[in-house]
Amino acid sequence: MGQSVLTGTGVFRREGGVLQCEGVSLEAIAAVAGTPCYVYSAGTIRDRYAQLAGALTDVPHRIHYTLKANANAAILRLLRELGAGVDVVSGGELHRALRAGFRGQDIIFGGVGKTAQELREGLEADVLFFNVESEAELILLDRIAAELGRTARVSLRVNPEITVEAAHEYIKTGQKGAKFGIPYDEVLPAARVARDLPNTELVGLDMHLGSQLFSLEPYLAGTERLVLLCLALRREGVDTLRYLDIGGGLAVRYEDESLPDLTQFSELLVPGVAQTGLQLVMEPGRFMVGNSGMLVTRVLYRKRSGGKEHLVCDAGMTELLRPSHYNAYHRIEAVRARSEVMVADVVGPVCESGDFLALDRQLEAVHPGDLLAVFDAGAYGYVMSSNYNARPRAAEVLVDGDRWAVVTARERYEDLVRHELPDPEWHGKER
């Protein structure tokens, strides 16, 4: 894997000192689209897809992009055209996927707390399969399938009970005691339930270990555990299994982390999977889009407080929650190069002390009015943004070569109050 592609710096270069995304200047985009805005590189997403697909050529596989990392419709369309399927975790994401042109057969429906309504919607859309997280969900899904006269294809989300090293507690999902998946010891009994349900077909086994995983070890250990379950089920006469879904979690580079080698990844994994004859399914989110996007924000004020320099910007935790929620690092550079350097807290305008993009960061000495680029914000960026402090959501821009377009308009004040009912209908006894 080439370094430039991984860090995104290959597409985010400088021309005349000004940062470009592919062939377009970020200053030019900000002048038209305003700030804060997210800017995504289509070329980077194509590269990532090609890298993963290339690494998996030796095994029958399906790549289902995890929509929750970035649900932008233009990006979904791009990935669909490349041949990706999607992995959704809610009725809302299913709606987005269908709207972007994915067919039911391209969609995996996961999530730890699907409602009866969401299960119904998944069945009506005829999704490829549901990743089911408990026996109770299996039984509910089977009952709804009976009502609709359909068969529910299910894969069991196994908690492989593997401890991973991840950047933050909140992004580990496959450990003993986690809320996700079926505890390893209970998978075979649950599989027998699935086998015996009249409107259910057990088509796969699934795991998702966590996010931003640097080591290949847990994938290997988890896959081995899934393979063992598959063999045990076959011995019991289950002959309907088709998919071995190893989830998402592939890491991207934010700072100077060393990343897993994809060739090695497939060399380690493929033999075990091949032995089962099952199709390998992956659900990458961050890997596909993380390095493809940046958040462009304008510096509003520069002030000193407590012997510290603060850069107050027009973006903060409402636009990019990762620094304050996960203590995540995002590289920040001035869009127009500056020669001096400074150390500052880069903060947002929100009335919270936890509202920051970076703390004690050395960066170029910028001034009010200057633009900053917050790198590698393509995954878990815009999707986690909020309207807190009545802040309209930012615009999203897609760049493709020398062309660019606003693909999501900035929200307006009217959007903030659209669902409020000034004259509500009261229920209950009149006082």
Ligand X SMILES: *Cc1c(COP(=O)(O)O)cnc(C)c1O
CB of 401 to ligand X, least distance (A): 26
- Tell me if 248 contacts ligand X by CB under 6 A: yes
CB of 383 to ligand X, least distance (A): 11
Pairing of strands 371-374, 61-66: unpaired
- Tell me if 93 contacts ligand X by CB under 6 A: no
CB of 180 to ligand X, least distance (A): 8
Distance CA 131, CA 88 (A): 10
- Tell me if 253 contacts ligand X by CB under 6 A: no
Name the one range near ligand X by CB under 6 A: 91-99, 241-249, 268-276, 350-358. 241-249
Assigned token pair, 108: 């995996």
Residues 366-385: x/- map of binding to ligand X (CB under 6 A)?
-------------x------
CB of 26 closer than 8 Å to CB of 295: no
Active site residue 351: yes
Q: What does the CA dihedral 162, 178, 86, 373 come to, rounded to 10 degrees? A: -90
- Tell me if 204 contacts ligand X by CB under 6 A: no
Distance CA 99, CA 122 (A): 14
- Tell me if 69 contacts ligand X by CB under 6 A: yes
| CB nearer ligand X, residue 253 or residue 391 | 253
For the residues of 37-99, what is the DSSP string, one character each? Answer: EEEEEHHHHHHHHHHHHHHTTTS-EEEEEEGGG---HHHHHHHHHHT-EEEE-SHHHHHHHHH
CB of 385 closer than 8 Å to CB of 320: yes
Radius of gyration of the chain (CA): 23
Region for residue 210 given its phi and psi (left: phi exceeds 0; alpha: psi -120 to 50; beta: otherwise)? left
- Tell me if 72 contacts ligand X by CB under 6 A: no
- Tell me if 208 contacts ligand X by CB under 6 A: yes
Q: Which of 7, 75, 76, 87 binds ligand X (CB under 6 A)?
A: 87
CB of 212 to ligand X, least distance (A): 6
- Tell me if 286 contacts ligand X by CB under 6 A: yes
Which residues pair with residue 183 across a beta bridge? 159
Distance CA 62, CA 54 (A): 12
- Tell me if 62 contacts ligand X by CB under 6 A: no
Q: Which of 43, 91, 218, 249 binds ligand X (CB under 6 A)?
A: 249
The amino acid at residue 218 is P
- Tell me if 110 contacts ligand X by CB under 6 A: yes
Q: Which of 36, 218, 284, 378 binds ligand X (CB under 6 A)?
A: 284
Secondary structure class of 341 (helix, strand, coil): strand
Q: Which of 211, 266, 297, 324 binds ligand X (CB under 6 A)?
A: 211
Name the one range near ligand X by CB under 6 A: 30-38, 71-79, 264-272, 277-285. 277-285
Q: Which of 287, 326, 356, 382 binds ligand X (CB under 6 A)?
A: 287
Please give the size of the binding site for ligand X, defined by CB under 6 A. Answer: 18
Closest among 160, 180, 155, 159 to 238, alpha carbons compared: 155
By annotation, the residues acting in catalysis are: 351
What are the residues binding ligand X (CB under 6 A)?
66, 68-69, 87, 89, 110, 208, 211, 247-250, 283-287, 379
